[in-house]
Amino acid sequence: MLSLKSSLSGVFALLLLGQVALVRAELPEFTELVEEASPAVVNISTRQNLPQRDVAIQGQMPDLEGLPPMFREFFERNVPQMPRAPGGGRQREAQSLGSGFIISDDGYVLTNNHVVADADEIIVRLSDRSELEARLIGADPRTDVALLKVEGRGLPTVMLGKSHALKVGEWVLAIGSPFGFDHSVTAGIVSAKGRSLPNESYVPFIQTDVAINPGNSGGPLFNLDGEVVGINSQIFTRSGGFMGLSFAIPIDVAMDVANQLKAEGKVSRGWLGVVIQEVNKDLAESFGLDKPAGALVAQVLEGGPAARGGLQVGDVI
């Protein structure tokens, strides 16, 4: 009897080990991907000069010109001197951190527009810790895409994938600089595709549950083949930190914008001149439609292409 129990215990142990091995075999292996892709991911820091005119702010060097010599000497010795702005005002600096990735070996870098917007200086730090000053080739606020250029040859580059081929449930991985911790790696799955966000009608976002935090913006989202399929751009949060909802710009959209920025320095778009809304079940019943599909024309802009083409309010496209 003891021998039978021992045998059964051994069988169960082998089955359990087999199940553990099976689970491990099904989990993705990211190490090779990270080793190959990480060198092309960069940290981006910016500096913006903000002139202050006759406005006292906490921590700013006060105007010393009208102070008695004793007080002037005290402030000059104990308070860091702020650089003066043209016109006699003081000047303070605003700094920000983000991520990006190199798309060509001659130094073109993709990132988010909001990472570099209004920057007076843009510094790109490579994986070997070397720093290069970047030039803004162009930016598109509507898609939140910016194209930078650093001087270099033979730089490491990412492989570009096709975001339209991405499937919901597929594993994805992000590399970036959350809170300045560069080359941090997080992973998750694609939660949805084609997401629309408020005031972001130009981008069909990829939704993931990859942990994204401030500083990840502009960094790449990879598939398991090591190809970039998106640019990490936004999170939905009520706390200011990651809550499981992250959004990436599809790389197909980003590269279309980047190619226009490289060629023209700006993005040209067609427009219809209509305001539309999704046809839900109630609207479908109201308009006598067989099913809730298409887009309802809620407004036609006067003189626009849609108006000239004969579209009217109430039409379903």
88 or 266, which is more confident: 266
Q: Give the number of other CB atoms < 10 A from CB of residue 76.
A: 13
Is 136 within the bounds of a domain?
Answer: yes
Is 291 within the bounds of a domain?
Answer: yes
As a whole number, the mean pLDDT across the chain is: 82
142-152 burial code (b ≥16 CB/10 A, e <16): ebbbbbbbbee
Is 23 within the bounds of a domain?
Answer: no
What mean pLDDT is predicted for residues 86-107?
A: 78
How far apart CA 212 and CA 231 sit, in angstroms, is: 11
Q: How many distinct structural domains can be found in the chain?
A: 3
- Asked if residue 237 and residue 304 are part of one domain, the reply reads no
pLDDT at 24 over 60: no
Residue 303 lies in domain: 274-308
How far apart CA 69 and CA 24 sit, in angstroms, is: 73
- Residue 287 pLDDT grade (very low, low, confident, very high; cuts 50, 70, 90): confident
- Asked if residue 282 and residue 257 are part of one domain, the reply reads no
Is 27 within the bounds of a domain?
Answer: no
Q: Is 164 a catalytic residue?
A: no
What mean pLDDT is predicted for residues 298-310?
A: 83
- Asked if residue 106 and residue 69 are part of one domain, the reply reads yes
What are the tens digits of pLDDT across the range 14-23?
Answer: 555 555 454 4
- Asked if residue 187 and residue 227 are part of one domain, the reply reads yes
Which residue out of 163, 217, 233, 246 is catalytically annotated? 217
Q: Is 144 a catalytic residue?
A: yes
Question: How many percent of the chain have pLDDT more than 90?
Answer: 51
- For the domain that residue 113 is a member of, what is the CATH number? 2.40.10.10
> Could you tell me the pTM of the whole model?
0.70
Which residue out of 38, 104, 114, 315 is catalytically annotated? 114
Is 176 within the bounds of a domain?
Answer: yes
Is 57 within the bounds of a domain?
Answer: yes
Which residue out of 45, 96, 140, 144 is catalytically annotated? 144
What are the tens digits of pLDDT across the range 120-174?
Answer: 999 999 999 999 999 999 999 999 999 999 999 999 999 999 999 999 999 999 9
- Asked if residue 166 and residue 141 are part of one domain, the reply reads no
Nearest to 121 by CA among 47, 51, 49, 50: 47
- Asked if residue 134 and residue 163 are part of one domain, the reply reads no
